[in-house]
């Protein structure tokens, strides 16, 4: 009986009524430049920086809605950045470029740290790493008043580490390629001082890992460019010892799972405006509408919904809905023209979310929540409602047992109208 109910719910979820315009999930934000942007980082929900070619640096203080150019520290291309505080920023780039500012970009200190390109940077509580060309790795330490770096790993000519990520002050990861064009993964368990490396293939293909992220000590991901011009995402569930790959049409240049320990929701971006999203820890990836065909070099999220992507021609994309289109309902002088159940927001959620619906006529409304097996979790509405628009809050931790992270369904019945939508709880 449970299986029959679950099948019914899935079938109902195919019913939709598209009577109202939708706001795109990603918005193109004017950057004020045509210079290629290579990285973006937000310290909080207001202040963020982006950097790119020819030493270009821009700053936002209004959640990424507008951007202003700040003083350039160098003419070299800047490849990545990290923010320690609202006004404290480190940028790294070609020819060993490394510049530090504690004045929000008004003044800079630093210079050329070594004779090769620095490609990636990441910190956790003051402990940091930089990935470089020639498989060089820098260990860095930030005390709050000073920044020091030293070379701890140098490889052969060729290869390099385009991705770097510090999961904690002790555990760090890099990803790139070796001298024979295999994706190369590096892992440190002592803050980046010593490293173990694993070379692997992308479903038997050579290629370059372009970004890396781990959600816990075992579960990690890399974005990649395959040497035939396609892209890939590789996943490890054993701390990087082995990798399984999923191939995509376009090269992928960056990957981000915004919340550690909640290894479900992640994003990847790449060429031709590619944006991919997973709700289930990389088991499946869904394409999102970016509104551009430009190459996207970096993706960065503060939480599951608030994020940015930057790339060619100075493009900046911003979302506050996890890249999902948000249906806008205008003020009505007349009742709604049709029944409609809207996507919950936020989604994914923890522990509360808002579910909205509208009725063109007065009717009895039943709104319930189910798990993936069809078991009823909660009844949110069961009463007669006049025509109009309504919102109801669902709290996953309010008197309905200990709900686990995963997919749930909410279904509305009003006369002959039935509609079901999916939502994701992540704890």
Across the chain, mean pLDDT equals: 89
Tens of pLDDT, residue by residue over 148-157, are 999 999 987 7
| Of 374, 356, 354, 367, the residue nearest 410 (C-alpha) | 367
User: Strand pairing partners for 410?
Assistant: 369, 421
pTM of the model: 0.75
Q: Which of 55-69, 301-315, 387-401 has the lowest mean pLDDT?
A: 387-401
The pLDDT score that the predictor gives to residue 287 is 96
The pLDDT score that the predictor gives to residue 220 is 97
> How wide is the angle at C-alpha 162 spanned by C-alphas 288 and 60, nearest 5°?
60
d(CA 314, CA 294): 10
d(CA 118, CA 122): 12
pLDDT tops 90 at residue 181: yes
The pLDDT score that the predictor gives to residue 155 is 80
Residue 235: alpha-carbon gap to chain centroid: 15
d(CA 409, CA 273): 31
CB count in 10 Å sphere of residue 346 = 19
The pLDDT score that the predictor gives to residue 362 is 83
For the segment 212-240, the average pLDDT, to the nearest whole number, is 97
Tens of pLDDT, residue by residue over 233-244, are 999 999 999 999
| Structure tokens given for 277 | 């999203």
For the segment 89-103, the average pLDDT, to the nearest whole number, is 97
pLDDT tops 50 at residue 201: yes
Of 276 and 5, the structure prediction assigns the larger pLDDT to 276
Tens of pLDDT, residue by residue over 328-382, are 444 434 567 788 899 988 888 888 889 999 888 888 999 999 988 888 899 999 9
Element (H, E) at 9: helix 2-12
For the segment 206-226, the average pLDDT, to the nearest whole number, is 97
Complete domains list, the chain, with CATH: 2-20+329-425 (2.60.40.1930), 24-319 (2.130.10.10)
The pLDDT score that the predictor gives to residue 347 is 85
CB count in 10 Å sphere of residue 1 = 6
| Structure tokens given for 391 | 């919102």
For the segment 46-50, the average pLDDT, to the nearest whole number, is 96
């Amino acid at each position: 009986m449970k299986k029959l109910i679950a099948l019914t719910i899935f079938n109902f979820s195919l019913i939709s009524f598209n009577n109202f315009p939708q706001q795109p999930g990603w918005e193109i934000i004017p950057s004020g430049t045509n210079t290629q942007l290579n990285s973006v980082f937000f310290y909080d929900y207001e202040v963020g920086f982006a950097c790119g070619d020819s030493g270009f640096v821009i700053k936002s203080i209004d959640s990424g809605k507008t951007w202003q150019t700040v003083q350039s520290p160098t003419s070299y291309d800047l490849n990545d950045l990290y923010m320690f505080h609202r006004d404290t920023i480190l940028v790294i780039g070609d020819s060993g470029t490394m510049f530090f500012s504690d004045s929000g970009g008004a003044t800079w200190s630093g210079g050329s740290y070594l004779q090769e390109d620095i490609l990636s940077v990441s910190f956790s509580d003051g402990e940091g790493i930089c990935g470089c060309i020639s498989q060089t790795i820098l260990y860095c330490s930030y005390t709050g008043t000073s920044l020091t770096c030293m070379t701890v790993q140098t490889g052969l000519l060729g290869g390099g580490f385009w991705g770097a990520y510090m999961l904690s002050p002790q555990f760090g990861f890099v990803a790139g390629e070796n001298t024979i064009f295999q994706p190369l993964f590096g892992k440190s368990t002592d803050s980046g001082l010593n490293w173990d490396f694993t070379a692997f293939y992308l479903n038997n293909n050579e290629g370059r890992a372009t970004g890396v992220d781990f959600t816990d000590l075992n579960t990690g991901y890399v974005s990649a460019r395959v040497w035939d011009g396609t892209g890939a995402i590789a996943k490890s569930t054993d701390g990087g010892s082995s990798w399984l790959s999923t191939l995509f049409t376009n090269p992928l240049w960056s990957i981000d799972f915004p919340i550690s320990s909640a290894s479900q929701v992640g994003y990847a971006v790449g060429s031709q405006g590619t944006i991919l999203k997973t709700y289930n820890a990389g088991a499946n990836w869904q394409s999102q509408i970016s509104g551009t065909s430009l190459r996207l070099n970096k993706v960065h999220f503060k939480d599951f919904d608030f994020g940015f992507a930057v790339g060619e021609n100075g493009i900046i994309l911003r979302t506050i809905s996890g890249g999902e289109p948000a249906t806008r309902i205008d003020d009505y002088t007349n009742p709604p023209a049709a029944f409609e159940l809207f996507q919950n927001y936020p989604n994914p959620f923890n522990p509360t979310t808002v579910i909205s619906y509208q009725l063109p006529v007065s009717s009895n409304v039943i709104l319930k929540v189910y798990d993936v097996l069809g078991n009823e979790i909660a009844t949110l509405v069961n009463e007669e409602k006049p025509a109009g628009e309504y919102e109801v809050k669902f709290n996953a931790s309010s008197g309905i047992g200990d709900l686990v992270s995963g997919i749930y369904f909410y279904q509305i019945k009003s006369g002959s109208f039935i509609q079901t939508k999916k939502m994701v709880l992540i704890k």
